[in-house]
């Protein structure tokens, strides 16, 4: 997809990433997919056997490049989480597919990358407390359902109350936000909840969905943040975690606009990460 190539170029051109900082992921192994997703579902997707209704629900036609990109993107989220555990902070150039349920995809999401990451870290890395911070404009509904009975994974979703999905799931903490909320009110809402949650839970890692669709110009968002507001949001989240020595892995989440402004918005979390890494000596 052109967005990911252009984001890579943007980060390199602005000095936010270099060859030594870039890591090439491998496709997610199917055994790890099955920590979250039904075998029948992921095999049907990989072998182009999803029926038309299933493809319409996802919103994307299944093609060979899409299959390859999907497996690689989830592998990238896993690599990002492991790098965060090692270095304290790592950012993925894709990810954030939080509408993918165990046996079907929806809302442009096929596999739930952060759910797969969390399950893998619990099973393979011995973690006992993980927190998902989802600030995409849409509720992380599938993530909430997947972990509804898993006390080791705390799901926090702050989203536009009236936006997709029409039927919300119950996260461990949902923060529904009214249409049209601007920078300062939004930042206050996040700032009034996140630090206390981190202090109470003391997670061993935060998986952060830094969706840029809360932006005022996003065609699928209903909030009114500016570029500055998104950057301040990312600084708030990363600083709150890193000052508590909690590793953070970020994914880019959603964003729907013309390519050039969209890529610049996705780059904001990398800018915040570079600043916070310097501030915290990473």
- Write down all domains in the chain, each with its CATH number in brackets: 2-279 (3.40.800.20)
* pLDDT at res. 2: 87
Reported as half-sphere exposure (CB side, CA atoms, 13 A), residue 36 has a value of 32
Cβ pair 147, 155 in contact under 8 A:
yes
Return the structure tokens found at 134. Answer: 């989802």
The per-residue pLDDT for range 127-175, each reduced to its tens digit, is: 999 999 999 999 999 999 999 999 999 999 999 999 999 999 999 999 9
Residue ranges of the chain whose pLDDT lies below 70: 1
* pLDDT at res. 221: 95
* pLDDT at res. 199: 98
Nearest one of 123, 85, 79, 22 to 241, comparing CA atoms: 85
Return the structure tokens found at 87. Answer: 């270095």
* pLDDT at res. 20: 92
| b/e sequence 94-114, b meaning 16+ C-beta within 10 Å | bbbbbbbbbebbbbebbbbbb
Question: pTM value?
Answer: 0.97
Handedness of CA 178, 179, 185, 191 (dihedral sign): positive
């Amino acid at each position: 997809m052109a967005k990911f190539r252009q984001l890579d170029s943007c980060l390199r051109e602005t000095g936010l990433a270099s060859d030594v900082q870039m890591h090439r992921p491998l496709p997610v192994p199917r055994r790890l997919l099955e920590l979250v997703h039904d075998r029948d579902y992921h095999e049907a997707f990989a072998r182009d056997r999803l029926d038309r209704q299933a493809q319409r629900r996802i919103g994307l036609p299944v093609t060979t490049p899409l299959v390859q990109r999907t497996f690689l993107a989830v592998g990238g989220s896993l690599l990002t989480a492991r790098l965060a555990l090692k270095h304290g902070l790592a950012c993925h150039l894709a990810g954030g597919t939080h509408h993918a349920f165990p046996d079907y995809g929806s809302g442009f999401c096929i596999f739930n990358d952060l759910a797969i990451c969390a399950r893998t870290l619990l099973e393979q890395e011995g973690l006992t407390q993980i927190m998902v911070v989802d600030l995409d404009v849409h509720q992380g509904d599938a993530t909430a359902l997947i972990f509804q009975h898993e006390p080791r994974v705390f799901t926090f979703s702050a989203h536009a109350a009236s936006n997709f999905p029409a039927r919300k799931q119950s996260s461990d903490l949902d923060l529904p936000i009214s249409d049209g909320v601007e920078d300062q009110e939004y930042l206050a809402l996040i700032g009034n909840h996140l630090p206390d949650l981190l202090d109470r839970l003391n997670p061993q890692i935060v998986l952060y969905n830094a969706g840029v669709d809360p932006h005022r110009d996003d065609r699928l968002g209903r909030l009114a943040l500016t570029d500055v507001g998104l950057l301040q949001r990312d600084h708030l989240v990363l600083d709150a975690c890193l000052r508590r020595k909690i590793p953070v892995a970020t994914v880019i989440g959603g964003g729907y606009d013309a390519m050039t402004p969209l890529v610049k918005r996705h780059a904001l979390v990398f800018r915040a990460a570079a600043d916070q890494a310097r501030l915290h000596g990473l």
